[in-house]
């Protein structure tokens, strides 16, 4: 157990819908990262937050947005969902920005 929690574990929804994925970092970690992993694919970096502020952006679609709250938990919002958005979404956290990251168990999103 990495200490990073993610909810929900599984999410099944329909095209066009909007969902919110939640992540709580390890105690003491200020950085949160979001990744997308499609079937048999690598890890695609989406976005990074540090102590509530956006710090780095990857290949995140305009339909996706995220934020980190004062209690350091983070939410990833996915809207106007498409079939291709079906994937595992991982959250990771670290003490130092860009260094040792610890991943949560992931949220498996299925868009039907």
Partner 1 sequence: GENVEQHPSTLSVQEGDSAVIKCTYSDSASNYFPWYKQELGKRPQLIIDIRSNVGEKKDQRIAVTLNKTAKHFSLHITETQPEDSAVYFCAASKGGYQKVTFGTGTKLQVIP
Nearer to partner 1, 6 or 15 (CB): 6
Interacting span for partner 1 (CB under 8 A) from 17-25, 70-78, 79-87, 94-102: 94-102
100 binds partner 1 per the rule CB under 8 A: yes
Nearer to partner 1, 15 or 59 (CB): 59
Give the shortest CB-40-to-partner 1 separation in angstroms.
9
Closest CA to 59 of 41, 74, 71: 41
DSSP-assigned letter for residue 97: T
- 49 to 78, contacts with partner 1 by CB under 8 A? 50, 55-58
Nearer to partner 1, 82 or 96 (CB): 96
What are the DSSP calls for 28-95, one per residue? Answer: T--EEEEEEE-TT--PEEEEEEETTEEEEE-S--TTEEEEE-TTS-EEEEE-S--GGG-EEEEEEEES
Say how far apart CA 101 and CA 104 lie, in whole Å.
10
Any contact of residue 43 with partner 1 (CB under 8 A)?
Answer: yes
Binding site for partner 1 (CB under 8 A): 2, 33, 42-43, 45, 48, 50, 55-58, 90, 96-106
């Amino acid at each position: 157990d990495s200490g990073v929690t993610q909810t929900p574990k599984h999410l099944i929804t329909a095209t066009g819908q909007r969902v919110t994925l939640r992540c709580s970092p390890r105690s003491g970690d200020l950085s949160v990262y979001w990744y997308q992993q499609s079937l048999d694919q690598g890890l695609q970096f989406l976005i990074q937050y540090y102590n509530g502020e956006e710090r780095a952006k990857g290949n995140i679609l305009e339909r996706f947005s995220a934020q980190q709250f004062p209690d350091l938990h983070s939410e990833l919002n996915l809207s106007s969902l498409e079939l291709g958005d079906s994937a595992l979404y991982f959250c990771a956290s670290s003490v130092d920005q860009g260094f040792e990251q610890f991943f949560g168990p992931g949220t498996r999103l299925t868009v039907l």
